[in-house]
Amino acid sequence: MSGTSARPMRTQGGEAVLQCRDLSVHFKTGEGRISAVNGVSFDLHRGQCLGVVGESGSGKSQTFLAILGLLASNGHATGSVMLNGEEILNTTRRKLDAIRGEKLAIVFQDSITGLTPHKRIGDQLCEVLTQHRGMTRSQARTRAMEMLELVRIPEPARRFRMYPHEFSGGMRQRVMIAQALLCQPDVLIADEPTTALDVTVQAQILKLFKGLADHTDTALVMITHDLGVVAGLCDEVMVMYAGRAIEQASVDSLFYDPRHPYTRGLLACMPRADRDSESLTAIPGQPPDLSELPPGCAYAPRCGQAFDRCLIERPSLDMAVEGHLKACHLENAP
C-alpha cells in the first residue's frame, strides 16, 4: 500500500476539542516537591493528530495522565483543561468516570497490564458499552465485533472468547485500540503504543492510527520518543524537555525548520535507515534531574550555544514564526 498524503489539516476553523492551558503537575516526594510538568498549553482539534515527543522524565506522559485524572496519589495538577468547552481538570470522580472511555480514551504502551488478565476479551469490550452506553449485551457484542474487524483482528468471533494472554503483543495492542475506540471518543491518547512492538507490527498499528482519520473524527495524541513515528503520523508536534514544552509547531515546520537547539540535537543524533550517516552528533550530557533543575534554561548545560542569559533566565515559549513556538533565547539561532 502506498503512503497516502497527510491527513487533511483541520487546524483552522473549528473549535478545539481539547484545550489545555498552563497545565502543571507536581509530586510530593520524600525529597521534596518535584515539578514534573510546567505550564504546558495546547489546542487539539477534531481529526487532528498531535505528537508529543520527549525523553524519559520529560513530562510527556504525566501531562496526559493529569488530563485523564490518573496521576499517582502524591501528584497534583494545576491549570485548566477544557474538553468541548467544559473544565475537566481536578473534576469529580463521578464526572471523570463519565468522561473516561466515553470522551477521552487512552492506549498504554504495555498491552498486557492494560487488559484484565482473567476476563475474556469479549467481556472486557462489551463492559465498556454496557457501562457507558447502556447497551444490551447483544447490542454491545455486535458493536464490539465491528470494532475488532475495524482494527483488523482475524476471526473476531473466536477471539471474543479468548483471554489476553492468548494474544500476541501486536494483537493485544489492537484489542486495546478497539476498546479505546468503542465509544467513539473525542480524543484518543496513545502513550508509546508501539514501543514494545516489532517494526513490522508497529507499521501495522501506525497504519491503523492513520486510518482513524478516515473512519472517525477522533483527535489523536501520540506520545512517543520516536521522531520517526511523529513524522509519519502527526499534524502538529510538541517537543518536551524537563517538564516544559520547548517547541511547538506543525510537523513540517518542526522537521524542516527546527528552532530549538534540543530539537535540532534530537534530529541530528538519530541514525536513519533511509540514508548513510557518517557521523552522528550526539547531545552531550544527560537529561536533568527534575529535583535539581537549573534556574535558567533546563537544556543550557547540554546546549552548545548557551550563553550567560540562558543560565540565569528561563526562556518563555514565544512565537518564532507564525504557528511555530520555541522556548530559546537565541534569536533566530543559526
Partner 1 sequence: MSDPLLQVENLRVHFPVGGGMFRRARMLKAVDDVSFTLGPGETLGVVGESGCGKSSLGRAVLQLITPTAGRVLWLGDDLCQLDEDAMNLRRRELQLVFQDPLASLNPRMSVGAILREPLYAFEPGITRSDAQARAADMMRRVGLRPEMMNRYPNEFSGGQCQRISIARAMISRPKLVVCDEPVSALDVSIQAQIIALLRELQSEYGVSYIFISHDLSVVRHLCDRIMVLYLGRVMETADKASMFAAPRHPYTRSLLSAVPIPDPRRARTREITLVEGDLPSPLDPPSGCVFRTRCPHATPLCLKVAPTPDPTDSASHRVACHYWKDIAAGTHKHTPQGELS
Confirm if 117 and 163 have CB atoms less than 8 A apart.
Answer: yes
* Residue matched to cell numbers 547540554: 302
Comparison of 132 and 302: residue with beta carbon closer to partner 1: 302
* Least distance to partner 1, CB of residue 198, Å: 4
Give the CB-side neighbour count of residue 30, counting CA atoms within 13 A: 0
How far apart, in whole angstroms, are the C-alpha atoms of residue 145 and residue 156? 6
Cα–Cα distance measured from residue 290 to residue 273, given in angstroms and rounded to the nearest whole number: 33
Q: How far is the CB of 225 from partner 1 (least distance, A)?
A: 6
- Could you list the residues that contact partner 1 (CB under 8 A)? 1-6, 55-56, 154, 168, 170-171, 198-204, 206-207, 225-232, 251-252, 255-256, 265-267, 269-274, 276-277, 279-284, 286-287
Least separation in angstroms between CB 233 and partner 1: 8
Question: 34 or 126: whose CB is closer to partner 1?
Answer: 34
Is the Cβ of residue 128 or residue 249 nearer to partner 1 in the bound state?
249
Least distance CB 217 / partner 1 (angstroms): 21
Q: Which is nearer to partner 1, 204 or 216 (CB)?
A: 204
Largest interatomic CA distance in the chain: 67
Nearest approach, Cβ of 98 to partner 1 (angstroms)? Answer: 36
The C-alpha cell of 78 is what?
494545576
Handedness of CA 117, 120, 125, 127 (dihedral sign): negative
Q: How far apart are CA 39 and CA 230, in angstroms?
A: 23
Count Cβ neighbours within 10 Å for each residue of 170-186 and write b for 16 or more, e otherwise. Answer: bbbbbbbbbbbbbbebb
- By beta-carbon proximity to partner 1, the closer residue of 141 and 260 is 260
| Closest CB 265 distance from partner 1, rounded Å | 7
Residue closer to partner 1 by CB (options 45, 60) is 60
Element (H, E) at 62: helix 60-67
For partner 1, the closer CB: 6 or 293 = 6
Rounded (10°) CA dihedral 130, 172, 206, 105: 30
Partners of 105 in beta bridges: 188
**From the CB of 252, what's the least distance to partner 1, in Å?**
5
Element (H, E) at 166: none
C-alpha grid cell, residue 286 = 544527560
The nearer residue to partner 1, 89 or 201, going by C-beta atoms, is 201
Nearest Cα to 181, choosing from 125, 236, 224?
125
Integer Cα distance of 14 and 79 in angstroms = 23
Residue 14 CB, nearest approach to partner 1 (Å) = 23
